């Protein structure tokens, strides 16, 4: 982290960048939050650790409109989102100085709590300077430990890899944390009967409180004005009509980001109700892979996405129809 801070200060000092986009400590040991730093002094509050899950790509839409370059810290998986935003002309590559930060898997505090660890005062081992194998947690009930891998975010178990897709320089080591198959959970749901599927999503989505956290965090949900906030359409009214329509919000959202979602997992990470929202997006990705060949949104900035491109080899509608 210190190397990162030093380098950022250097770039601020020589005028390469006008500000740094990173994380600062939150009010708890495990909730750092995205923040801008404009001076070397301000950089004292800068943190980067295992709890810095937030994908900063989306903040670059705003930062692209600011005067001067912004140094942005992007983890390997965040760079996919950044590329996708370049492809959609939402961010300006020239306005970004991308520091690819090392990542050894990001942590899910809910998983820590599920292990019965409560009253947390401080957490050691999240600094990811070492191999990131054990967390040592000081609680009001004494010291507890847990394995780093056991409390990682779901997305890190299906990690896309430790390579940054776009960067100006890389600071810090990354580790591939993949130990599960990305589409296993989707396949399990696909195997359910329609009634079971409906019951599953009914149960999950009924927890939704429409706080819009998923939408606000999602780098693909970057419309100037969301259809749910506009009176030009009837989507918002429809989404509010009754409890079933309420769930339409998530379905419509999944359709809107289909083919553009990089599977960054922010939607599920930020959901205060723990709804596995990424499953919708991942179902679309799985279908796209199967019908049109493997495609990873954000892998590059110029390829044509399968859903907005036409080739003679495209699956016939009848084949798509038969899949149900």
Partner 1 sequence: MQRIGVFVCHCGSNIAATVDVKKVAEMALMEPGVVHSEDYQYMCSEAGQAKIAAAIHEKGLTGVVVCSCSPRMHETTFRKAAERAGLNPYMVEIANIREHCSWIHKDIEEGTKKAVILMRAAVAKVNLNAPLQAGESRVTKRALVIGGGIAGIQTALDIADAGYEVDIVEKTPSIGGRMSQLDKTFPTLDCSACILTPKMVEASAHEKIKIYTYSEVEKVSGFVGDFMVDIRKKARSVDMDKCTGCGVCQEKCPSKKAPSEFNRGLNTRSAIYTPFAQAIPNVPVIDREACIKFKTGKCGLCSKVCQAGAIDYDQQDEIITEKYGAIVVATGFDTINLDKYDEYAYSQSKDVITSLELERVMNAAGPTHGHLERLSDGKAPKEIVFIQCVGSRCSDDRGKPYCSKICCMYTAKHAMLIRDKYPDVNVTVFYIDVRTPGKNFDEFYRRAVEQYGVNYIKGQVGKVIPQPDGKLLVQGSDLLDNRQILKEADMVVLATAIEPNPDVRKIATMLTASIDTNNFLTEAHAKLRPVESPTAGIFLSGVCQGPKDIPETVAQAGAAAVKAIGLLAKDKLLTNPCTAQSDILLCNGCSTCENVCPYGAITYEDKEVNDHGIRETRRVAVVNNALCQGCGACTVACPSGAMDLQGFSNRQIIAEVDAICR
Counts of helices then strands in the chain (DSSP H, E): 13, 9
Show contacts with partner 1 in window 83-112 (CB under 8 A).
87-90
Show contacts with partner 1 in window 168-207 (CB under 8 A).
none
The distance of closest approach from Cβ of residue 308 to partner 1 in the complex, given in angstroms and rounded to an integer, is 4
The distance of closest approach from Cβ of residue 144 to partner 1 in the complex, given in angstroms and rounded to an integer, is 45
Alpha helices in 71-170 (DSSP H): 76-87, 109-114, 154-157
Decide: is 233 part of the binding site for partner 1 (CB under 8 A): yes
The first and second tokens of residue 250, run together, are 């998530």
What length does the chain have? 324
* 188/268 Cα distance (integer angstroms): 18
Decide: is 231 part of the binding site for partner 1 (CB under 8 A): no
Per the CB < 8 A criterion, the answer to whether 144 and 279 are in contact is: no
- Nearest Cα residue to 97 out of 76, 75, 68, 77: 68
The distance of closest approach from Cβ of residue 3 to partner 1 in the complex, given in angstroms and rounded to an integer, is 36
Give the 3-state secondary structure of residue 302.
coil
Decide: is 322 part of the binding site for partner 1 (CB under 8 A): no
Question: Which residue in this structure is represented by tokens 């949900």?
Answer: 221
Residue 49 vs 84, nearer CB to partner 1: 84
Segment interacting with partner 1 (CB under 8 A) among 1-9, 27-35, 105-113, 233-241 = 233-241
- Which of residues 13, 65, 242, 243 is near partner 1 by CB under 8 A? 65
* Residue ranges binding partner 1 (CB under 8 A): 65, 87-90, 222-227, 230, 232-235, 238, 256-257, 260, 304-305, 307-310, 312
């Amino acid at each position: 982290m210190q190397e990162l801070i030093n380098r950022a200060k250097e770039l601020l000092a020589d005028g390469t960048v006008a500000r740094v986009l990173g994380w600062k400590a939150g009010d708890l040991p495990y909730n750092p939050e995205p923040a801008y730093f404009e001076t070397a002094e301000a950089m004292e509050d800068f943190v980067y650790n295992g709890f810095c899950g937030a994908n900063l790509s989306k903040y670059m839409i705003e930062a692209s409109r600011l005067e001067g370059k912004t140094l942005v810290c992007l983890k390997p998986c965040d760079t996919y989102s950044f590329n996708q935003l370049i492809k959609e002309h939402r961010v300006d590559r020239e306005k970004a100085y991308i520091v690819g930060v090392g990542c050894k898997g990001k942590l899910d505090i809910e998983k820590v709590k599920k292990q019965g660890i409560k009253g947390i005062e401080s957490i050691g081992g999240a600094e990811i300077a070492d191999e990131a194998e054990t967390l040592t947690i000081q609680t009001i009930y004494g010291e507890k430990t847990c394995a780093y891998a056991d409390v990682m975010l779901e997305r890190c178990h299906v990690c896309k890899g430790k390579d940054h897709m776009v960067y100006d320089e890389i600071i810090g080591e990354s580790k591939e944390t993949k130990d599960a198959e990305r589409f296993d959970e989707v396949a399990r749901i696909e195997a359910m009967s329609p009634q079971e599927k409906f019951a599953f999503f009914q149960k999950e989505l009924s927890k939704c409180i429409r706080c819009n956290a998923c939408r606000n965090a999602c780098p693909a949900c970057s419309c100037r004005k969301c259809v749910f906030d506009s009176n030009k359409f009837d989507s918002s009214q429809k989404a509010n009509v009754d409890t079933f329509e309420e769930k339409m919000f998530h379905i419509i959202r999944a359709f809107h980001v289909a083919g553009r979602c990089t599977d960054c997992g922010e939607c599920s990470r930020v959901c205060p109700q723990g709804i596995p929202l990424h499953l919708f997006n991942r179902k679309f990705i799985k279908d796209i892979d199967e019908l049109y060949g493997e495609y990873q949104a954000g892998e590059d900035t110029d390829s044509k996405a399968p859903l907005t491109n036409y080739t003679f080899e495209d699956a016939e509608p009848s084949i798509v129809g038969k899949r149900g």
